[in-house]
Structure 1
């Protein structure tokens, strides 16, 4: 262990060698009792006044958190805070840019340890491309708003790591920057799922919680724009970073004014209680009809339909959402309209215009941040007026939001409407 640490923190302009890092990673799993000794040794190396050695110590600690036994490492870092200390760091004019990067990197790692202390979970490692994260279904009463705020603070420290790369040997800076970018992608997935959960429960919150939720949403909208810009800059050097940075899909960003208007309504508590009673009534009705096995899709869409109607001030029989529809994600379906009645074979009623199609959204889907339900193309058949039909093609969407979609269409007037399957909340599609 000591040999691996000493070789991984050599005084040279190169990042720690993977074989030495891997030795330490394996020890965190096979001999977790050695983590304390490992951190003590790293702290001893960090007392050197060389910025290169201190930088490498921080990189090793960060790598152990990400790839090693992260929970054990983070819990022990609370006792060995001197591992991340940079008090002995001396400023040098010849390495000013790298030292500034090191300070930003240090501040982020300190906050990551603090976030673990507050939440007792590493949300970055809890993300997965195969399943939703813990904040996706965490109840408000169990700390959803508080922990989302902690994650957003971590994102803020991540975004502050704007490293200077126009300097000589960037190998060490690239190594640290890559770890920060990977953390940022994981944190964005976590906060994106948390915001979707908050929106789904917004109308059942007390006014105090709803006010905090609104602040979280506004911060989310601002940070999403900053994250997009940050990743655009990182994408320019992704070859040097040896990672692939995907495009992001996210919850809608333009709901703040509508949510705030609803929050400031004098009848907020009355509407909240009415909404809760309606939900309970629907739940009892489902149980009495023998629908205990109702899918999550049906439950979530029913909830979304109801709070969209409440926010728009409409009755529960109306289904036109006031929220803008996210057109980044699309599903496939086939719709046929009888031109003599201007009615579809399903419950959706639409009328063609010169610029597109307007009308009510289908009752089975008004979730504004899953996929669009509006047809993308309008094709008029060349049949006689009595038998002509309008055929609309909506492209299929794969579960991976970064792969191109394939199109499917149907011209049969008797073909039933294809039911839309629930959309993954994973904003990246693939894990890093």
Structure 2
């Protein structure tokens, strides 16, 4: 018996309350270990998904989700993407022993399984990458603010204002961010896969269940947090797709239009989901911002461009104009409008 079997069993007791931190904490710590502890945890967790008790299965799913969210995400997903030890497909497919599986638990298992499978295909987790990119941006803004303060301070104050050992992200991670990925590097493929993950998440409608149940609230809280980050990733991917649309080949543009049409439908589902979550903020304790996303009224214009008999000629002209404009910026050519504006500004001084 591994040292984690008792911990996992206690974390998944058939009581309708979330797993206690004294059981969760060593499980989370194990995800950072390099001595095979993740294998032991998952091996101990696996039988919980085959228990003839929906509460045990629900708590096992919550434990797994917590491991992915709060633990070493890459370590957990890398291990699970190379092993089918948990057999989540059986849970999501309703293959439960002796009783009918609750639909939301099936959907929850499918979401977590989809996240594992997307990691296997993408070699990274879209939610973690987006979250770390957001942290980078906040850190950058913080350092800029520190810099403004430092300019009016002594050298010693400046040194104190700069956090020592500030965390940095690798260029590889930043390069995978959907906002800056190129079509050649797999923008369309990755955006579609992240959309698939979003589809799986919004099916987990725990807000339709008993909101007095602590397990339901615990799962919904984590799902809402995932959704806020995941939709941002999808939104940035779609914005990037739209920015490249008029220089894509006809085949790529067809895929891009399919992605955009699907995004328009997804945006409706996400707005509905987060609208409910906003009403439940006192229960979830998750701030829901006003949702901003790419426009959803461009289908007609994009279709017209795609179906134009002169598609290839239009594409060539667009690329030529874009290359010319980019070359002008690179060579430092002055913008006539800016120059004119600057001239009048100088005369007013």
TM-score range, shorter chain: 0.7 to 0.9
Partner of 1:24: 27
Compute the RMSD of aligned alpha carbons.
2.7
Partner of 2:143: none
Whole-Å separation in 1 of the counterparts to 2:32 and 2:330: 47
Among 256, 259, 284, the alignment partner of 2:299 is 256
Among 195, 204, 218, the alignment partner of 1:152 is 195
Alpha-carbon contact 1:101-1:161 (below 8 Å) kept: yes
Among 245, 249, 256, the alignment partner of 1:202 is 245
Q: What is the DSSP-based 3-state SS (H/G/I as helix, E as strand, rest coil) of the residue aligned with 1:142? A: coil
Whole-Å separation in 2 of the counterparts to 1:254 and 1:23: 49
With over 3 angstroms needed to count, the CA separation of the structure-2 counterparts of 1:212 and 1:180, relative to structure 1, is: same
Superposition TM-score, scaled by structure 1 size:
0.63
Partner of 1:375: none
Is residue 2:84 matched to residue 1:80?
Answer: yes
Whole-Å separation in 2 of the counterparts to 1:144 and 1:43: 35
- Would you say how many aligned residue pairs link Structure 1 and Structure 2? 297
Is residue 2:292 matched to residue 1:265?
Answer: no
Aligned residue runs from structure 1 range 392-407, under 5 A: none
Q: Which runs of 4+ in 1 moved over 6 A?
A: 412-416
Superposition TM-score, scaled by structure 2 size:
0.77
Deviations 1:181-208 (A, max 9, x none): 1111111010111011111111110011
Partner of 1:100: 103
Alpha-carbon contact 2:42-2:86 (below 8 Å) kept: no
With over 3 angstroms needed to count, the CA separation of the structure-2 counterparts of 1:53 and 1:278, relative to structure 1, is: same
Among 91, 94, 97, the alignment partner of 2:99 is 91
Alpha-carbon contact 2:127-2:229 (below 8 Å) kept: yes
Q: What is the DSSP-based 3-state SS (H/G/I as helix, E as strand, rest coil) of the residue aligned with 1:243? A: coil
Q: What is the DSSP-based 3-state SS (H/G/I as helix, E as strand, rest coil) of the residue aligned with 2:32? A: helix
Highest CA radius of gyration, 1 or 2?
A: 1
Deviations 1:49-74 (A, max 9, x none): 11111111111111111111111211
With over 3 angstroms needed to count, the CA separation of the structure-2 counterparts of 1:198 and 1:43, relative to structure 1, is: same
Partner of 1:48: 51
Structure 2, gaps ≥5 residues long: 138-173
Among 36, 40, 59, the alignment partner of 2:39 is 36
Whole-Å separation in 2 of the counterparts to 1:168 and 1:236: 12
Alpha-carbon contact 2:127-2:233 (below 8 Å) kept: yes
Whole-Å separation in 2 of the counterparts to 1:212 and 1:182: 29
Q: What is the DSSP-based 3-state SS (H/G/I as helix, E as strand, rest coil) of the residue aligned with 1:140? A: coil
Whole-Å separation in 1 of the counterparts to 2:326 and 2:272: 43
Partner of 2:151: none
Quick check: which one's strand share is greater? 1
Quick check: which one's helix share is greater? 2
Is residue 2:190 matched to residue 1:182?
Answer: no
Structure 1, gaps ≥5 residues long: 292-297, 299-316, 320-344, 348-411, 417-432
